[in-house]
Chain A
Amino acid sequence: MRTSPFHKKFAAHNAVFSERFQTEIVSRVSDPKTEYETVRCAAGITDFSFMQRFRFPEEKGLDFLDSLCAGNVAKLRYGRVLHTFLADENGMIVADCYIANNDEEFILLCESIADDDVVKQLLLSRGAAEAGMVDLSQSHALLGIDGFKAWAVAKELFGADVLGLPYLSIERYEFSGAGVSLFRSGKTSEFGYLLLLEADKSDLVFDACLASAQKNNGGLCGIDIHADLRLEGRFFNVFAEGASVRDPLSLGLQWMIDFNKEQFIGRDAIFARREHGLEKKIIGISAGPDASGFTKGAKIVNGSDDVATIVATCFSYTLNKFIGLALFSIDFAYAGLSFRCGDANGPVVSTISMPPIMPKSLTVKLDDM
């Protein structure tokens, strides 16, 4: 199992660890509601070192990555980050990816539903070695700062310049001798940053991030709460709906695909399904706080007919009810309808427009600060 460079740091705060695809993850540090409020109201520091990360020299990496992922890497400008995915030959999702054009290099960050070895072999089988790929998964750490006050933490570490970074951009900074590639990203719908840096220099940065987060009423978070935060913000979660559905078209990820590209893994299968037309797709659902059986895998029925299967759920502390995603037959895949969960006598489930909450971060402009 690949362990986290931050293991000791999080263990010192009584974090609970678990394993996912042979990689250690920090599941949680405190109770879900505390971690939820840490991100929604302050700043949460999260270990994202479970993600696979690779570096490619610019001249070879561009063509390689463009032939690999569904998005258009060739159009990716310097300093910007592309959110796309890596599929298998059947056009099914393998990894949710960020690709950054970072001056003379490209950086690929993957959240994958496959072991490190499987992902690496997939890349190598496509010519990653010839493209100069360097695997940073062991040598580098990845730390997340997410929350309404995440910008204050990033600003304290790297200066006011970070406030001008647009969403999905990358910039290099230095902190106490450590070179940091800062991704302005995030999937919580609050402000978010990912810090990629050498593992052996990561302790100082971790300490500074945590101290600054605590000054802003924040603290440490685990990955588990990010599943809920993503669902509330309707950000794609490869470990939840992604792993259940896997078809990027049913998942509504067409925006990650450049349909004019002539080559990427799984292209032909995806194009064939697109031509055929969707039979199912995921949409948002909600149920009252007392709804029983509102769990992943549960059926949603219209009278005696099954119309959907729940693929992701969480309890929304903001809305005080359950929300989720369900894979609906295309004829019923519309917001504003009511069904039952489990059977005709089950709790009412409503289809809803996503995202269902208005995050605090959308109410301020960092440029004005």
Chain B
Amino acid sequence: MQKEIGQRREIIQTFKSELIRRLNLPYTPDDLHEDVALLGAGLGLDSLDALEIVLCIENSFGIKIPDENIAVLRSINTIVDFVISQQTANKEQQ
């Protein structure tokens, strides 16, 4: 369990820090609950911010978000799930 927690914690911290920096959000990483809605409700980010989030994921983890996969962008946790699944798939391919 500690290994899973460690992996997830690292991805969360990386993503939150980059998200705050890119979007100039007035929060610390600890202020961002992983389930808070990113677009519309919650943080209330808009479609331009969504593009920044996609770039944030690409630059931080080297993973592309398919255009049609808007479900991934609903919360930090859904993004982290996607990153973990892609990293796992990449490792298996290697």
Contact = CB atoms under 8 A, between A and B. Distances in A.
Contacts of A168: 41, 44
Q: How large is the interface on B (under 10, 10 to 19, 20 to 34, 35 or more residues)?
A: 20 to 34
B30 A278 contact: yes
Contacts of B8: 334-336
Contact of A252 (B4, B33, B78): B33
A255 B4 contact: no
B31 A354 contact: no
B81 A353 contact: yes
Given A335-B77, A337-B5, A259 B33 contact: no
Contacts of A337: 1, 4-5
Contacts of A274: 30-31
Contacts of B44: 168, 255
B5 A334 contact: yes
B43 A234 contact: no
Nearest to A352: B77
Contacts of A269: none
A345 interface: no
Contacts of A281: 33
B34 interface: yes
Contacts of B41: 83, 167-168, 235
Interface string A207-249: 0000000000000000000000000001100000000000000
B50 interface: no
A41 to B, nearest CB: 19
A125 interface: no
Interface in A289-345: 302, 331-332, 334-337
B4 A336 contact: yes
A160 interface: no
Contacts of A235: 41
A253 B42 CA distance: 9
B74 to A, nearest CB: 6
Nearest to B8: A334
Contact of A335 (B32, B34, B36, B71): B34
Contacts of A144: none
Q: How large is the interface on A (under 10, 10 to 19, 20 to 34, 35 or more residues)?
A: 20 to 34
Given A260-B26, A353-B81, A234 B5 contact: no
Given A235-B41, A278-B30, A355-B75, A252 B35 contact: yes
B71 to A, nearest CB: 5
A358 B35 contact: no
A262 B32 CA distance: 21
A281 B36 CA distance: 13
A362 interface: yes
A358 B70 CA distance: 10
B34 A254 contact: no
A32 B52 CA distance: 40
A51 B37 CA distance: 24
Contact of A353 (B1, B32, B75): B75
B27 A259 contact: yes
A354 B26 CA distance: 23
Interface string B55-94: 0000000000000001100110110110010000000000
Interface string B1-30: 100110011000000000000000011001
Given A255-B43, A354-B75, A277 B81 contact: no
A353 B71 CA distance: 12
Contacts of B27: 254-255, 259
B1 A167 contact: no
B24 to A, nearest CB: 13
Interface of B: 1, 4-5, 8-9, 26-27, 30-37, 40-44, 70-71, 74-75, 77-78, 80-81, 84
Given A255-B31, A335-B8, A353-B34, 7 more contacts: A252-B36, A335-B77, A335-B80, A335-B81, A336-B8, A337-B4, A353-B80
17 contacts: A167-B40, A234-B75, A235-B41, A252-B36, A254-B31, A254-B32, A258-B26, A259-B31, A283-B35, A335-B80, A337-B4, A337-B5, A353-B75, A355-B35, A355-B74, A355-B78, A362-B70
* A-B residue pairs, 5 tightest by C-beta: A252-B33, A353-B77, A354-B35, A254-B31, A167-B40
